[in-house]
Amino acid sequence: MSLRRLITYRESLSNNLTMYKIVKQIDFSYAHRLVDYPGKCAFLHGHNGLVEIEISGSELDNLGMLVDFTEVKTLVEEWIDQHLDHRTILKQDDPLAEVLKKEGEKVFLMDTNPTAEHLARLIYEAAAKQGLRVTAVRLWETPASMAEYSE
């Protein structure tokens, strides 16, 4: 690589690097099971999940903030409360879904198995739709197990 191309490449990298990052944590509880899974997670069970919403950027607002933690909490926690918290999260074709709905249970259906990876992506997309400059979402399914989604 020529020196000129190397300098241009390094400049483009530095222009894309962010300098500031915040992370907001949100707790929620949910139940799920994984269709066709060959282990214990095939059975309905619950988690007290911890979500970390990471937001990055190179510029702060006039108050010196990337984004107010309260704004992140309000937007994302409201979405989680309406869709995931204290719900049973199932794959759309899970036969248990109709039974639970018939019994008046709150069920959230997904096109995919509700793995930690898929839930992290779902929350990432919801946060981005709220206008947040989200760079990653981490879902701690247990204190020792975490899945992350980032673009």
In this prediction, residue 121 carries a pLDDT of 98
* Residue spans of the chain under pLDDT 50: 6, 9
In this prediction, residue 151 carries a pLDDT of 84
pTM of the predicted structure, to 2 decimals: 0.87
Is residue 116 within a helix (H) or strand (E), and if so which, with residue range? helix 116-129
Q: What is the CATH number of domain 18-150?
A: 3.30.479.10
54 a catalytic residue: no
In this prediction, residue 5 carries a pLDDT of 55
Q: Which residue has the tokens 């400049």?
A: 11
In this prediction, residue 137 carries a pLDDT of 98
Annotated active-site residue in 32, 47, 54, 141: 141
In this prediction, residue 106 carries a pLDDT of 97
**Who contacts 39 (Cβ-Cβ below 8 Å, separation ≥6)?**
none
Annotated active-site residue in 41, 77, 117, 125: 41
DSSP lists the bridge partners of residue 150 as 136
